[in-house]
Amino acid sequence: MAAKVGVGLLGLGTVGGGVASILQNPDERHPLVGELELIRVAVRDLNRPRPVALDASLLTTDPSAVIQDPAVDVVVEVIGGLEPARSLILQAIAAGKSVVTANKAVIARHGQEITEAAAAAGVYVLIEAAVGGGIPIIEPLKQSLGGNRINRVSGIINGTTNYILTRMAEEGAAYDAVLKDAQELGYAEADPAADVDGLDAADKIAILATLAFGGSVDRAAVPTEGISGLQGVDVDYANQLGYGVKLLAVAERMAVSGDPLPLSLRVQPTLVPMDHPLAGVNGVNNAILVEGDPIGRVMFYGPGAGAGPTASAVVADILNIAGIRQASDGPGKVDPLLAAGSWRPCALADSGDIRQRHYVRFKTKDAPGVIGNVGGCFGERNVSIQSIVQFNASDAGAEIVVITHEVSQRQMNEALEAIQALPEVSGLAAHLGCL
């Protein structure tokens, strides 16, 4: 029988607890799970209550002791945050250990450095759990869809915000109470601002873009807007017009080819037509729609956060490494599909060139000719309107909601500037994307 594969865990929080629980209960799972042995676990505080019962002798407060333990073959980093997580991943690679991590923040910013270090050391860094919780999306992009030219990856990739938006829409629940539930259920980041401000989704779309288009992108340059500024009235109007509102992340190519390949990435609250496959993605679920040639459209759907789903993805990665290890008997040359390094430069396009449909709401006077003047400003800048509706007209004023056809951000900004200069328009109250 092949030797057991030693696993060292860095972190025993929500995800770490879920991983330990799978490793301790291998029955009726793939037989290779039974070949994994939890060797050591690094925790911050030895006396904290644990989500899973573990032999106290496995625990240490020294992550280096886990990494350097000769019986540890695979290091699982589920601490989160940028440091010390990044340094510990690099330390594990330098020690010749393959790494499994759920850390989207580190991979989105330091993925290239880490991939290069892993390739040089002949080890793997696998990240299935970093995007989409339990949904297999990383391996499909690296392997199963490798024969396609990917044109667009879009989706709902933050469970916390989708859970909040769904409960607010379905129950009229209060934002703060729902966020608290999401934290208790283990969905939210340690600092939930990362979820509600769209930063977590931006990390994830940057990672998906790298895999889909073959080159890393500047994470800091991804236009990002979360849901904290989203107003209930816009969700209401969107519903009346036949749309749901989702926090959508999008990465698409702006040209057939290029050196660097121009890409457009963004995260923003977006109107989704009720009959679109992403509109029915509710609660903590995520979905990623991949559009490629020749496959067309393929959608990956499932629970996007939480201990069990995320641990499922982590263990899948450990199994991949364990399988290769057992087949090859130790580190050596890496499988280029599983290792998935970049193969060309990519660059983010000017955000003015991003083309999409838009939803805007203006506060205006309820006066003759307002709709005509607003429509005229759009027409003069070649922005074609799909629908224009006036809501709530009264002495106090009116609200005009416009949904445009697809238009560049630059044209849209010019039109919005002109409209806000109209004397009868008192302000732009909302501006969302629209699929």
Q: Closest separation between CB of residue 286 and ligand HSE, Å? A: 7
Q: Closest separation between CB of residue 248 and ligand HSE, Å? A: 14
162, β-bridge pairs: none
Instruction: Decide whether 182 or 416 has the Cβ nearer to ligand HSE.
Output: 182
Using CB under 6 A, which of 98, 103, 154, 160 touches ligand HSE?
160
Instruction: Decide whether 6 or 306 has the Cβ nearer to ligand HSE.
Output: 306
Which are the contacts of 198, defined by CB distance < 8 A and separation ≥ 6? 158, 161, 224, 225, 226, 227, 247, 267, 268
Site for ligand HSE in 342-381 (CB under 6 A): none
Q: Which one, of 50, 41, 98, lies nearest residue 74 by Cα?
A: 98
Q: What is the DSSP letter of 53?
A: -
Instruction: Decide whether 158 or 270 has the Cβ nearer to ligand HSE.
Output: 158
Instruction: Decide whether 305 or 435 has the Cβ nearer to ligand HSE.
Output: 305
Q: Which stretch binds ligand HSE (CB under 6 A): 1-9, 184-192, 266-274, 390-398?
A: 184-192
* Candidates 97, 104, 142, 204; catalytic one: 204
Element holding 303 (H helix, E strand): strand 296-303
Tokens at residue 344, please?
């060309």
Contact 160, 166 (CB under 8 A): no
DSSP string, 353-379: G-EEEEEEEEEE---TTHHHHHHHHHH
Using CB under 6 A, which of 195, 234, 317, 399 touches ligand HSE?
195
Using CB under 6 A, which of 304, 316, 383, 433 touches ligand HSE?
304
Site pattern 80..119 for ligand HSE (x: CB under 6 A): ----------------------------------------
Say whether residue 14 binds ligand HSE (CB under 6 A). no
Tokens at residue 234, please?
């816009």
Q: Which stretch binds ligand HSE (CB under 6 A): 147-155, 167-175, 182-190, 395-403?
A: 182-190
Q: Closest separation between CB of residue 187 and ligand HSE, Å? A: 4
Residue 333 known to be catalytic: no
Contact 220, 110 (CB under 8 A): no
Longest dimension (CA), the chain: 84
Say whether residue 133 binds ligand HSE (CB under 6 A). yes
Q: Which stretch binds ligand HSE (CB under 6 A): 140-148, 158-166, 243-251, 347-355?
A: 158-166
Round to whole Å and give the CA distance between 117 and 89. Answer: 10
Using CB under 6 A, which of 73, 77, 139, 200 touches ligand HSE?
200
Q: Closest separation between CB of residue 158 and ligand HSE, Å? A: 4
Q: Which one, of 262, 248, 283, 232, lies nearest residue 357 by Cα?
A: 248
Contact 354, 130 (CB under 8 A): no
Phi and psi dihedrals of 42, rounded to 5?
Answer: -95, 130
- Residues in contact with ligand HSE, counted by CB under 6 A, come to a total of 11
Using CB under 6 A, which of 188, 217, 272, 354 touches ligand HSE?
188
Using CB under 6 A, which of 6, 134, 187, 303 touches ligand HSE?
187
Give the helix ranges, DSSP H, for 292-383: 307-328, 336-339, 370-380
Instruction: Decide whether 194 or 377 has the Cβ nearer to ligand HSE.
Output: 194
Residue 239 CA: distances (Å) to CA of 122, 164, 236, 250: 52, 17, 5, 22
Say whether residue 189 binds ligand HSE (CB under 6 A). yes
Contact residues for ligand HSE, defined by CB under 6 A: 133, 158-160, 187-189, 195, 200, 304-305
Instruction: Please list the active-site residues.
Output: 204
